[in-house]
Amino acid sequence: MIELLPRLRRYALTLASNEFDADDLLQVTIERALTRSHQFHSADSPDRWMFTIMSSVWKNDLRARAIRQGKGFVDPETLSHTSFESHPEGNVLYSEILEMVGRLPETQREVIVLVYVEGFKYSEAAKILNVPIGTIMSRISRARLTLGTQLGLNDMTAMEDRC
């Protein structure tokens, strides 16, 4: 299962604001999974289980800790401070996507990554984040709206002109 680590770290980077916090999140997630391995059911998807733990750890522990350390209350709907590095291959579109997703509010950013990057179904993302599926649809919708606006893709007329 060690091969799951790169994906988990990527998700940690999605949630946390920097690599230090991401690594911390990854470590705590692993330790939590180890201590709760008896709670895993064979019917579960291993990766979904791990992503669920990471999401929970982030929301309940690490983010809360950051808030306790003086950042005050932070509304995850407005929390948008993840900064991904530019795409190493210098692909402009890829770099732009990373940057735009990084600027999304946390709740939208995590859904975009879970669904479009990690390939989870809406229902799986809902379980991972412990929210109703309608919330997933709403967050994806708002995220795509934001991303589309930034790329100038939301105006149908403009799109028609482009095509």
| Nearest to 79, CA basis, from 91, 71, 68 | 71
Contact flag: residue 64 with another protein (CB under 8 A)? no
* Whether 114 contacts 140, CB under 8 Å: no
Burial 100-125 (b: 16+ CB within 10 A, else e): bbbbbbbbbbbbbbbbeebebebebb
* Whether 43 contacts 86, CB under 8 Å: no
Which tokens belong to 82? 């993840």
Closest contact distance (angstroms) between CB of 73 and another protein is 27
- C-alpha to C-alpha distance for 65 and 124, rounded to whole angstroms: 27
Alpha-carbon Rg for the chain in angstroms: 17
Identify the residue among 46, 60, 77, 83 touching another protein (CB under 8 A): 46
- C-alpha to C-alpha distance for 120 and 66, rounded to whole angstroms: 28
Binders of another protein among 79-108, rule CB under 8 A? 84, 87-89, 91, 93-95, 97-98, 101
Contact flag: residue 128 with another protein (CB under 8 A)? no
Closest contact distance (angstroms) between CB of 64 and another protein is 17
**Residues touching another protein, count (CB under 8 A):** 63
Q: Which stretch binds another protein (CB under 8 A): 59-67, 72-80, 103-111, 152-160?
A: 152-160
Contact flag: residue 54 with another protein (CB under 8 A)? no
The residues binding another protein (CB under 8 A) are 1-2, 5-7, 9-10, 13, 23, 26-27, 30-32, 34-42, 44, 46, 49, 84, 87-89, 91, 93-95, 97-98, 101, 112-113, 115-117, 119, 121-122, 134, 137-138, 140-141, 144-145, 147-148, 151, 153-157, 159-160, 163
